[in-house]
């Protein structure tokens, strides 16, 4: 008996993905304006990466937990939708508070809350595509998510510029005060996010656990089952613990930059997690969420391991761009470091427009990429798009007129759309539905880890190697895109 997932109509997929546009509205406002808010509240350029550390740390903790919990959830709102519902409410509240932060550390704390709630809302959306769509429609589902991400981010990224130039809302303010154009943009973004996510919550149905189990049984021949095995945590636990402790000791003894504590502490924390998992495995206490997540990290499917490197290099590039573009453009193209000056705020507004542009190009690229995949294959398509992003980021250093910075946004747009869809399309058919949420959460580690690395070492590289000139962060990002393109060429896809 054929009991595979039925195909959904275009409009059913549309409703299922629309909430992603709202999430991206908040995410784009965060990416384009948080560094600006930090600088306005007194942050130095070399302090910005460590202030951003709240976001990746939150994602590292929240994503696998929410993925695991949503795999086990079933209630009146279904399996994934309760997380959309409550996450959207908290994210909206955070967006309303963020631009009214009175001090730098309040803003850093609000970034933590905002990113946690965005992760609660966003992580199950990836799993929902795997839950509801048959394999043949998953690429369409992820591409439609990319389209909505692009459309939502176009408006969100350019909102401060639109409010300032079309509605005469002030884009300058007294020292330490966030301009009204940024404040109003966050208010609008919060309302838009809530409406879009609630649309998906109340127009999308989910399959019951019994139906999903029947689908899984019918489709079990597509995904080979893996035999439960005992993991040897001791070796990696020892290596990560020793290296982490050595980094912490060197930073303390040699008075190195405090950002390196983050790198050492992360390795020590990873060792401790493995130690707990090792103890649980020894005591045969393995039927719990903690052990399940750690175990799944060490038993990822082969394609997922290979794609992890692609994600790592791709997202390191993106975080370099998001963290440093405002500082790079205002200092390199507008020739100012004064955050209260009109030149600085004009440059920061222009960055918002540039971010809107690459998201607009990404929305168009989401329509072109499936055609590219048919002609040259999915790996080649992703590699080409990453190279386009590399050329675009490096070109910032060779463009003098800021108006010409619009041109590289085309390459960044194609890279962004590709990153948001093709790795997930390559991965999705290798994951069992019963563990779709937790595996998607683990896959997102390779979005979070490069951000932590960027926060801990990128500022140091600029300070000691490039005289604290943020334009070189974009060049480093371009090189990382090239490494991602090389990595994708090595991915072995399941036929």
> How far apart, in whole angstroms, are the C-alpha atoms of residue 282 and residue 393?
49
Q: Which residues contact 258 (CB under 8 A, 6 or more apart)?
A: 50, 251
Q: Which residues contact 16 (CB under 8 A, 6 or more apart)?
A: 8, 128, 129, 132, 141, 200, 204
* pLDDT for position 134: 82
pLDDT per residue as tens, the chain (495 positions): 456 788 888 899 899 989 988 988 888 888 778 888 888 888 876 677 667 766 667 777 787 888 888 888 888 888 889 999 999 999 999 999 999 998 888 888 888 888 888 888 887 887 888 788 887 777 778 878 878 887 887 788 788 888 988 998 888 888 788 899 999 999 999 999 999 999 999 999 888 888 877 876 665 544 444 456 677 888 888 998 999 899 899 888 887 767 677 778 888 988 998 899 889 888 888 887 788 888 888 888 888 889 999 999 999 999 899 888 988 999 888 878 877 788 888 888 888 888 888 888 988 898 888 889 888 888 999 999 999 999 999 999 999 898 899 999 999 999 998 998 888 878 876 777 677 778 888 888 888 888 778 877 887 888 888 888 889 999 999 999 999 999 999 888 765
CA-angle at 45, arms to 40 and 49, nearest 5°: 100
Q: Which residues contact 259 (CB under 8 A, 6 or more apart)?
A: 49, 50, 455, 456, 457, 459, 460
Radius of gyration (C-alpha) of the chain in whole angstroms: 22
Q: Residue 45 is encoded by which pair of tokens?
A: 């350029």
CA-angle at 416, arms to 412 and 419, nearest 5°: 135
Q: Residue 479 is encoded by which pair of tokens?
A: 């090189």
* pLDDT for position 480: 95
> How far apart, in whole angstroms, are the C-alpha atoms of residue 465 and residue 473?
11
Buried b (16+ CB within 10 A) or exposed e, 104-133: beebbebbbbbbbbbbbbbbbbbbbbbbbb
Quick count: other Cβ atoms within 10 Å of Cβ 46? 17
DSSP symbols for 211-226: HHHHHHHHTTTTS---
pTM of the predicted model, to two decimals?
0.75
Which residues, in sequence order, are bridge partners of residue 78? 75
> Quick check: 219 and 257 in contact, CB under 8 A?
no
């Amino acid at each position: 008996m054929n009991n595979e997932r039925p195909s959904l109509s275009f409009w059913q997929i549309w409703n299922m993905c629309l909430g992603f546009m709202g999430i991206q509205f908040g995410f784009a406002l965060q990416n384009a304006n948080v560094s600006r808010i930090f600088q306005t509240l007194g942050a130095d350029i070399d302090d910005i990466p460590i202030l951003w550390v709240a976001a990746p740390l939150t994602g590292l903790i929240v994503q696998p937990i929410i993925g695991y919990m949503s795999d086990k959830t079933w209630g009146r709102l279904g399996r994934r939708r309760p997380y959309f519902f409550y996450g959207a409410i908290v994210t909206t509240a955070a967006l309303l508070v963020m631009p009214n932060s009175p001090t730098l550390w309040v803003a850093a704390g609000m970034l933590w809350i905002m990113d946690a709630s965005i992760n609660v809302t966003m992580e199950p959306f990836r799993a929902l595509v795997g839950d509801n769509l048959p394999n043949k429609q998953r690429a369409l589902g992820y591409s439609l998510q990319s389209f909505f991400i692009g459309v939502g981010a176009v408006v969100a990224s350019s909102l401060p510029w639109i409010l300032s130039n079309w509605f005469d809302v002030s884009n300058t303010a007294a020292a330490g005060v966030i301009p009204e154009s940024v404040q109003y943009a966050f208010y609008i973004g919060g309302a838009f996010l809530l409406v879009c996510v609630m649309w998906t919550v109340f127009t999308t149905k989910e399959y019951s656990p019994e139906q999903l189990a029947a689908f899984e049984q019918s489709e079990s021949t597509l995904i080979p089952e893996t035999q439960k095995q005992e993991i040897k945590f001791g070796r990696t636990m020892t290596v990560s613990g020793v290296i982490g402790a050595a980094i912490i000791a060197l930073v303390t003894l040699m008075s190195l930059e405090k950002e390196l504590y983050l790198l050492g502490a992360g390795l020590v924390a990873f060792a401790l997690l493995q130690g707990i998992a090792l103890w649980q495995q020894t005591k045969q206490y393995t039927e719990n969420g903690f052990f399940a997540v750690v175990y799944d990290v060490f038993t990822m499917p082969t394609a997922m391991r290979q794609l992890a490197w692609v994600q790592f290099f791709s997202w390191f590039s993106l975080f370099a761009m998001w963290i440093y573009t405002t500082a790079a453009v205002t200092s390199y193209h507008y020739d100012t470091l004064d955050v209260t000056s009109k030149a600085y705020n004009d440059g920061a507004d222009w960055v918002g427009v540039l971010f809107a542009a690459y998201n607009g190009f990404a929305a168009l690229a989401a329509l072109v990429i499936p055609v590219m995949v048919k002609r040259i294959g999915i790996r080649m398509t992703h590699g080409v798009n990453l190279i386009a992003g590399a050329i675009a980021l490096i070109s910032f250093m060779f463009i003098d007129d800021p108006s010409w910075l619009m041109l590289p946004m085309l390459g960044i747009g194609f890279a962004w759309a590709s990153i948001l869809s093709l790795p997930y399309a390559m991965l999705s058919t290798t994951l069992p539905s019963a563990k779709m949420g937790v595996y998607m959460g683990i896959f997102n580690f390779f979005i979070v880890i490069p951000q932590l690395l960027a926060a801990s070492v990128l500022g140091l590289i600029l300070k000691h190697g490039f005289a604290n000139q943020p334009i070189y962060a974009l060049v480093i990002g371009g090189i990382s895109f090239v490494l991602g393109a090389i990595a994708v060429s090595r991915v072995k896809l399941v036929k």
